[in-house]
Amino acid sequence: AQTVTQSQPEMSVQEAETVTLSCTYDTSENNYYLFWYKQPPSRQMILVIRQEAYKQQNATENRFSVNFQKAAKSFSLKISDSQLGDTAMYFCAFMKDTGRRALTFGSGTRLQVQP
Amino acid sequence: GAGVSQSPSNKVTEKGKDVELRCDPISGHTALYWYRQSLGQGLEFLIYFQGNSAPDKSGLPSDRFSAERTGGSVSTLTIQRTQQEDSAVYLCASSLVAEGRETQYFGPGTRLLVL
């Protein structure tokens, strides 16, 4: 079974600053996918970024980038130039490449962007 | 195009009553997932439908929970004899299963409150 751990329940950042959210996971799988989802107060779960484990290059999406360390089983999310609209719960999630492709989620990090 | 939709948005019911939650996936998506999000348990996988295969029901917490997917599209999650511990947000997600490209897209969820 897979586990995903987010050790930062809450974080705060000033607008325009950079913040990094941590995520570690445990798995015996070699091929898998990792995701960061954002859940604002509206409750809608929105995909932020995804990473394929077989790719060594870190994924980037505009102001969002990840630091994927496969050997360390670490997958952190960096948000640059934080904006007020980034205020949300952020969930790290794991998905196997084979078999049941359900997501295993971490407990989430609540990010507050301060003006 | 249209995203995943869920109805109702909110549902209040009395303990012991049955409830039905509906999910309309993104057109063309072959996989459909139900998750439950509660304060105490975080995000949990419930059930997974993929094409015409038998559903993976391994996440259903009890036999009071059931789900069906008609015509490979719309899905209904039914909770019989609701209990207060069933209070949660029920999220539906769909994806197009394609080699290396699967990403789950979520609906806005149904918030269930059992009194």
The count of domains in chain B is 1
Q: What is the pLDDT of residues B62-101, one digit of tens each?
A: 999 999 998 878 999 999 999 999 999 999 999 987 655 6
Nearest to A45 among B59, B91, B102 (CB): B91
A55 versus A112: the higher-pLDDT residue is: A112
Is the predicted pLDDT of residue B50 greater than 80, yes or no? yes
Which residues of chain B does A108 touch, with a Cβ-Cβ cutoff of 8 Å? 42
B58 and chain A in contact, CB less than 8 A: yes
Q: Does a structural domain hold residue B114? A: no
Q: Does a structural domain hold residue B48? A: yes
Q: What is the pLDDT of residues A11-67, one digit of tens each?
A: 999 999 999 999 999 999 888 999 999 999 888 899 999 999 988 899 999 999 999
Q: Which residue of A has its CA nearest to B99?
A: A97
B contact test, residue of A43, A47, A89 with most B CBs within 10 A:
A43
How far apart, in whole angstroms, are the C-alpha atoms of residue B7 and residue B22?
5
Judge contact between A16 and A115, C-beta under 8 A: no
A13-23 residues labelled b (16+ CB within 10 A) or e (exposed): beeeeebebbb
Is the predicted pLDDT of residue A2 greater than 90, yes or no? no
Q: Quick one: average pLDDT of B15-31?
A: 94
Q: Does a structural domain hold residue B115? A: no
CATH number at residue B19: 2.60.40.10
- Phi, psi for B39 (deg, rounded to 5): -60, -40
Is the predicted pLDDT of residue B11 greater than 90, yes or no? yes
A contact test, residue of B60, B104, B112, B113 with most A CBs within 10 A:
B104
Q: Does a structural domain hold residue B9? A: yes
E-strand ranges in A64-103 read 64-69, 74-79, 88-96
Residue found by looking up tokens 């060594």 in the block: A56
Q: Does a structural domain hold residue B110? A: no
Given its phi and psi angles, is residue A16 left (phi above 0), alpha (psi -120 to 50 degrees) or beta?
left
Sign, Cα dihedral of A36, A32, B66, B87: negative
Q: What is the pLDDT of residues A69-90, one digit of tens each?
A: 999 999 999 999 999 999 999 9
Residue type at A4?
V
Of chain B, the percentage scoring pLDDT greater than 90 comes to 75
Q: Does a structural domain hold residue B55? A: yes
Task: Give the pLDDT band of residue B102 (cuts 50, 70, 90).
Answer: confident
Complete domains list, chain A, with CATH: 3-114 (2.60.40.10)
Nearest to A102 among B33, B42, B97 (CB): B33
Which residues of chain A does B103 touch, with a Cβ-Cβ cutoff of 8 Å? 35, 47, 50
How far apart, in whole angstroms, are the C-alpha atoms of residue B110 and residue B72?
21
- Phi, psi for B86 (deg, rounded to 5): -80, -10
**HEC secondary structure over chain A:** CCEEECCCCEEEEECCCCEEECCEEECCCCCEEEEEEEECCCCCCEEEEEEECCCCCCCEECCEEEEEECCCCEEEEEECCCCHHHCEEEEEEEEECCCCCCCEECCCEEEEEEC
Contact A103 B59 (CB under 8 A): no
Q: Does a structural domain hold residue B106? A: no
Q: Does a structural domain hold residue B103? A: no
A68 and chain B in contact, CB less than 8 A: no
User: Containing domain of residue B74, as a range?
Assistant: 5-98
- Phi, psi for A53 (deg, rounded to 5): -65, -25
Contact B43 A103 (CB under 8 A): yes
Judge contact between B47 and B35, C-beta under 8 A: no
What's the mean per-residue pLDDT of chain B? 91
B28 and chain A in contact, CB less than 8 A: no
For residue B100, the model assigns a pLDDT of: 59
B105 and chain A in contact, CB less than 8 A: yes
How far apart, in whole angstroms, are the C-alpha atoms of residue B32 and residue B7?
15
B103 and chain A in contact, CB less than 8 A: yes
Nearest to A103 among B56, B104, B109 (CB): B104
